[in-house]
Structure 1
Amino acid sequence: MKIILIFLTLVQFSWGADATLEVVKGVGGLSPLAIEDSSLQTSDLSRKFTQMLAADMNVVSLFTVDQSYASVPFNSLSPSPQHQDAQYLIRYRLVDDGAGGMRADVKMLQNGNEFFAKSYILKQSEMAVFLSHAIAYDINAKLGGSPIDWIKRKVVFVRLTSPKRSEIVVSDYTLSYQKVVMSGGMYGFAKWANSEQSEVYYTSLLDFKPTIYKLSLQSGKKDKIVSSDGMAVCSDVSEDSKRLLLTLAPNGQPDIYLFDLTSGAKTQITNYSGIDVNGQFMGDGSIAFVSNRLGYPNIFSTRMNSTAVSQLVYHGKNNSSLSSYKNFLVYKARENSATFAGNSFNLHLLSLNSGNVQRLTASGENDFPKFSYDGEAILYIKQEGARSSVGVIRFGVNKSFVFPLKIGRIQSIDW
């Protein structure tokens, strides 16, 4: 239990709905876009939907987005007075279905000419932010933008609610929508179990030993995977969802294990007297992990059935979190070591093919980096002074966005 507490990272957040552009390069030629509400009955939701869609279209990065609210008839060919300078317009009409859901009629106009139209059905109006994500995805695809498949995917995180209580929460990438799927106990290290995002692995501390379970989000069924003294964490899932990388500590010190879900076989990968945690599958067949072999957390790699260990990262003195996608690693590194001043933890991208390292953030404390399922973006948490946010880095357009948050304390996050 002591080991688990050492590796719990707690972050405090403040909440907001709008995306803020953090880093922009080459936006001089973007066309102005405005969003207008054409709902027959204006409501708090229909007004707020402008903010949701404006945030998503900012992330799409094909326009400069006017976030001012306006109400205009759906079939009007002219923009509202405050949107006269907009070359592009998105009109939406939300219609309540009377059963907790709604229909959304959406169209997009360029200089008064309609070139995109689609109707959407949403069974639960509380999930309206996912409707916004779907609209942004479709418009981006229509205009041939850089891939954003990740925008429609869900995020799972663990929120600490009291010293011995936590919740597992499913949300969208902005954390605007949140649904608690597990509560009433002490849980940690939630991880998606498959690409369909229908199941989640998590660690329970309610048992005699830390235990990893798989939770079905549809049925609520929980299947026990493995228990271990001291520590039990699922840190990565193979692309085919058949193998897991686990951190277990049956003899007191944590090591990396490979777990085969088909056979139930458990293979020890590392065997070190210190701390080896957070194993990640790499595209070349090796495994990256965090270890204190140098006297501080750093990132190393090894291969199956091999005792050889190689150092991967030579930058920073506290590289305690990482994520992988094929032959790329994203990791956090401490930029200074001041005893009394605040530390700066920035994210860096490492290419295993070339060895090149690129810094992805410039300020604050940045943690919990997670590649999207397709490797097109990185989700992370930023703490800068009193402001805390969830961040998204898009490689295809070389931009980064932050969404202010207020959700309590996060222990882990995955998407």
Structure 2
Amino acid sequence: MKYIPASLTCLFLAAAFLAHDAWAQVSVRKRPNPGEISPLDISGFTAGADPAAALFRKTLEEDLLRSGWFAIIRSGRGEYAVTGSAEAGGADVKARCEVFDVSTRERLLGKAYSLRAVDARRLAHKVADEIVLAITGKPGIASSQIALVGAQAGKKELYLCDSDGANLRQITRDNTLNMSPKFGPGGKTLVYTTFFSRFPDVCLYDLASGRRTIVASYPGLNACGAISPSGRELALTLSKDGNPDIFIMDMASKRLTRLTDTRKYAEASPAWSPDGRRIAFVSDRGGSPQLYVMDRAGGGAERISSLGSENVDPDWGVNGYVACSTKLGGRYQISVINPETKEVSQITNDELDYEDPSWAPDGRHLVCTVRRNYRSSLFIIDMMTGVKVALLSDKQGGDWSMGDWSPE
């Protein structure tokens, strides 16, 4: 059986409901230039013997290392130093943290924290993000979440985990096919495609209450939902009028606005720009699946992809770049496109298939599906260093795909 990558699922679903331009020279780089890694001395941060305090310190150190900005040292002269302590007191864990620029002796952060001992990891994530922000001016990712699809016995359910792969929990138990989860602004909601009714519908899930609402169940295809940065609109693919096209739904009134109308071609996988003014999407109007960008109002779609034979599954990061899965030599690799200049950077280049990229809120990392020997897993890629790390351990088993990183 021919392997069909998950990154083409939305487009192929769209095509199932259906009754060479000249390009500028492409510049290809195997990965972005490495960023600076600063020595960070944490020898001045101590933790009590209580398990919660020890877990806090361990998690804090791992988060800082995972951020990619620092080389952790425990003695000697670092560029920056973290001092303070973590102690358990009753049902709480209390932490005190200060961050200094060693060369200028400037204090960059000084704060006290307290949270329930059972939430020691969550508190460590918060402190790590504040350390990253204080030193680099960039948002941290430790407190963010990743939504993902887990497959067992032919069924696919939605899960959530922390950005380091811990705290994995299942959020749907529908005994059916659920796919393509996408966070809304603030990470408070998920929109995804479900086959709960045996046909593809778009569902909105409130993570706080667990309430689910079917927002699109028109005749034909309902798929590939993406909530706008404002939270007021939903981009999605519908074939209710006979042809799969991109629509915008007003989340309050449920009023629909059609953005594409190509009659005999399929459009899918809409992805909002960070400012909500443009949408990237996949279309086969040129003969193969490629990436296009159009204004939020529709019309004037412009092709931005040119590397490889196919480009699918766009995700538009806060850094302004569109990540996608590009077919090269029979394999799918991750590439990044500047939608303004159409310059493309190839990020991965090996004998595996890389699909479904999703940017982290720092614009530096992304999570993607890696497929090998007909099994899938999720990896995080540091775009500045090229380092790839598995999100989940092999002990957790199962097939994991379609990761989506929360916006904060």
User: TM-score with structure 2 length normalisation?
Assistant: 0.75
121, 129, 132: which one aligns with 1:137: 129
62, 72, 75: which one aligns with 1:55: 62
Shift of 1:92: 3.8
- Is 1:169 paired with 2:176? no
8 Å contact kept, 1:97–1:103: no
8 Å contact kept, 1:104–1:121: yes
Shift of 1:317: 1.4
Structure 2 Cα separation of the partners of residues 122 and 180 of structure 1: 25
Change over 3 Å in CA distance of 1:26–1:224 after alignment to 2: closer
- Is 1:369 paired with 2:357? yes
Structure 2 Cα separation of the partners of residues 109 and 3 of structure 1: 47
Unaligned segments of structure 2, at least 5 residues: 12-30
8 Å contact kept, 1:210–1:232: yes
Q: What corresponds to 2:347 in structure 1?
A: 360
Deviations 1:366-392 (A, max 9, x none): 32222345x633422263868955314
Alignment root-mean-square deviation, CA: 3.7
Question: Match for 1:351: what amino acid?
Answer: N
Shift of 1:151: 3.8
Structure 2 Cα separation of the partners of residues 170 and 344 of structure 1: 25
Structure 2 Cα separation of the partners of residues 351 and 114 of structure 1: 37
Change over 3 Å in CA distance of 1:205–1:265 after alignment to 2: same
Deviations 1:61-103 (A, max 9, x none): 453214xxxxxxxxxxxxxxxx4436445554241643xx533
- Is 1:334 paired with 2:321? no
Change over 3 Å in CA distance of 1:246–1:356 after alignment to 2: same
8 Å contact kept, 2:222–2:239: yes
Question: Match for 1:25: what amino acid?
Answer: P
Q: What corresponds to 1:7 in structure 2?
A: 9
8 Å contact kept, 1:291–1:300: yes
Q: What corresponds to 1:206 in structure 2?
A: 196
Question: Match for 1:402: what amino acid?
Answer: K
Shift of 1:276: 1.5
Q: What corresponds to 1:77 in structure 2?
A: none
Aligned length: 367
Structure 1 Cα separation of the partners of residues 150 and 371 of structure 2: 20
8 Å contact kept, 2:293–2:301: yes
- Is 1:273 paired with 2:264? yes
8 Å contact kept, 1:256–1:269: yes
Question: Match for 2:34: what amino acid?
Answer: K
Q: Within 5 Å, which residues of 2 pair with 1:142-221?
A: 142-143=134-135, 145-164=136-155, 166-186=156-176, 187-193=178-184, 195-221=185-211
31, 34, 51: which one aligns with 1:25: 34
User: TM-score with structure 1 length normalisation?
Assistant: 0.74
Shift of 1:246: 0.6
8 Å contact kept, 1:8–1:411: no
8 Å contact kept, 1:382–1:391: no
SS where residue 128 of structure 2 aligns?
helix
8 Å contact kept, 1:329–1:351: yes
Deviations 1:289-322 (A, max 9, x none): 1122344321123446666543221111121211
8 Å contact kept, 1:237–1:244: yes
Q: Within 5 Å, which residues of 2 pair with 1:4-403?
A: 7=9, 25=34, 27=36, 30-31=38-39, 33-34=41-42, 38-43=46-51, 46-66=53-73, 83-85=74-76, 87=78, 88=81, 90-95=83-88, 97-98=90-91, 102-107=93-98, 117-123=110-116, 125=118, 127-143=119-135, 145-164=136-155, 166-186=156-176, 187-193=178-184, 195-250=185-240, 254-271=244-261, 272-282=263-273, 285-303=277-295, 308-325=300-317, 328-337=321-330, 343=331, 345-348=333-336, 350-363=337-350, 364-373=352-361, 376-381=363-368, 383=370, 389-393=378-382, 398-403=384-389
Question: Match for 1:297: what amino acid?
Answer: P
SS where residue 171 of structure 2 aligns?
strand
Question: Match for 2:341: what amino acid?
Answer: S
8 Å contact kept, 2:191–2:226: no
Percent identity of equivalent pairs? 16
Structure 2 Cα separation of the partners of residues 110 and 264 of structure 1: 52
Structure 2 Cα separation of the partners of residues 278 and 84 of structure 1: 49
Q: What corresponds to 1:76 in structure 2?
A: none
8 Å contact kept, 1:159–1:410: yes
8 Å contact kept, 2:10–2:268: no
Change over 3 Å in CA distance of 1:86–1:96 after alignment to 2: farther
8 Å contact kept, 2:369–2:403: no
Change over 3 Å in CA distance of 1:353–1:204 after alignment to 2: closer
SS where residue 135 of structure 1 aligns?
helix
Unaligned segments of structure 1, at least 5 residues: 10-21, 67-82, 338-342
Structure 2 Cα separation of the partners of residues 136 and 284 of structure 1: 29
Change over 3 Å in CA distance of 1:48–1:86 after alignment to 2: farther
8 Å contact kept, 1:35–1:50: no
Shift of 1:147: 0.7
Structure 1 Cα separation of the partners of residues 270 and 197 of structure 2: 24
